[in-house]
Amino acid sequence: MTELISIKNLTFKYDEEESNNVLNDISLTVNKGEWISIVGHNGSGKSTLAKFFNGLLTPSEPNVVKVCGFDTVFEDHIWEVRKQIGMVFQNPDNQMVATTVRDDVAFGLENIGIDREEMLTRINWALQKVKMENYLNHEPHRLSGGQKQRVAIAGIIAMRPSVLILDESTSMLDPMGRKEVFETVMQLNKDDGITVINITHDLEETILSDKIIVMNKGRISIQGKPGEVYKVNDKLTEAGLELPFSLQIQTNLANQGLEIGSVCLTKEGLVNELWKLKSQT
Ligand SMILES: Nc1ncnc2c1ncn2[C@@H]1O[C@H](COP(=O)(O)OP(=O)(O)OP(=O)(O)O)[C@@H](O)[C@H]1O
């Protein structure tokens, strides 16, 4: 397994005068091709942690944050790191920078000096990947929220990053927009091996992850496979999180000795079934 991100005992505060750390003793790894969910309530430190992934924040000690083989201490190798990590943010409207979809996807490529022929190849490839190839000349502000986020994703993947980070990227979308974005990202993860880090406050979004990292008050309170994390109900409640609705129903039925169809699945069983579905898509 290739390790893309490794964090060891990271502690951080924005202001030295502050009494509390924003991040406390964080250790984690992200391997190539994985789908990781970082979940926690507002202010638990998720976005701050993500800033260490893409080098917006860097540690002052060596061997604490390594991204794509580079130690980011004191901003060493920061441009190489930023090229490898693409981020899609919450508000689709803030991410559209041009007057057509084509120019929007071209924006980042122009900034890094990609030649015209290669640029057109990458724009077409990226828009096909997010199923927006028929919208080349459309004005971004006329698109739906889900379509805007897919164009934002196209702009990122056109830069060929190793890791795609979604920072609450579906929280402003309706259920259809959310589904569109997740289907797109799932395909990119499966077909193109793009590593995905989904930052969310909603456990519902974590069900298909390889690993879930639960944040609470700047600390990692649990990390593991979905089946392992969903079992630790008290830690989830402590972190202000609710089990995915499908699991709540399943658990309630099982507690009453009832079954769905002929098979009554455990939480782990349900996750396995969903995982199988994911690998068949
Ligand atoms: N630039 C900053 N300067 C000072 N404090 C900050 C800054 N950004 C975040 N914080 C503080 O750090 C803590 C963690 O914030 P962070 O945005 O990382 O949490 P989060 O889990 O991503 O929250 P949310 O879900 O609301 O985005 C909060 O107390 C926040 O006020």
User: Ligand 1 mean position to 38 CA, how many Å?
Assistant: 14
Mutate to test the pocket of ligand 1, among 11, 15, 22 (most ligand atoms within 8 A of CB): 22
Which residues approach ligand 1 with their CB closer than 6 A? 14, 22, 40, 42-48, 201
Closest atom of ligand 1 relative to the 47 alpha carbon = 22
Does residue 43 have a pLDDT over 80?
yes
Whole-angstrom Cα distance, residue 192 to residue 14? 36
Higher per-residue confidence, 183 vs 252: 183
* pLDDT of amino acid 243: 85
**% of the chain beyond a pLDDT of 70:** 91
* pLDDT of amino acid 102: 97
- Report residue 84: phi and psi, to 5°: -85, -15
What is the residue whose two structure tokens read 């309630």? 252
User: Ligand 1 mean position to 45 CA, how many Å?
Assistant: 6
Residue 221, H or E segment? strand 219-224
Higher per-residue confidence, 249 vs 210: 210
* pLDDT of amino acid 275: 63
Closest atom of ligand 1 relative to the 15 alpha carbon = 4
Residue 201: helix, strand or coil by DSSP? coil
Closest atom of ligand 1 relative to the 51 alpha carbon = 18
Looking at mean pLDDT, say which of 61-70, 178-187, 202-211 comes out highest.
61-70
Homologous superfamily assigned to 3-243: P-loop containing nucleotide triphosphate hydrolases (3.40.50.300)
pLDDT digits (tens, 9 = 90+) for 267-277: 566 666 666 65
Complex ipTM value:
0.97
User: Ligand 1 mean position to 182 CA, how many Å?
Assistant: 25
**Inter-residue contact 28 to 223 (CB < 8 Å):** yes
Closest atom of ligand 1 relative to the 201 alpha carbon = 25
* pLDDT of amino acid 262: 41
pLDDT band for 32, please (50, 70, 90 cuts): very high
pLDDT digits (tens, 9 = 90+) for 177-203: 888 899 899 999 999 999 999 999 988
Atom 3 of ligand 1, nearest CA residue: 14
* Listed range (76-90, 154-168, 186-200) with the worst mean pLDDT: 76-90
Atom 17 of ligand 1, nearest CA residue: 47
User: Ligand 1 mean position to 133 CA, how many Å?
Assistant: 36
Does residue 133 have a pLDDT over 80?
yes
Query: In the structure encoding, which two tokens stand for residue 37, read together?
Result: 């969910």
Does residue 68 have a pLDDT over 70?
yes
Does residue 280 have a pLDDT over 50?
yes
Atom 16 of ligand 1, nearest CA residue: 45
Residues carrying CATH 3.40.50.300, the chain: 3-243
DSSP H helical segments within the chain, as ranges? Answer: 46-53, 78-84, 101-111, 116-129, 145-157, 175-191, 226-229, 233-238, 245-255, 267-280
**Inter-residue contact 197 to 53 (CB < 8 Å):** yes
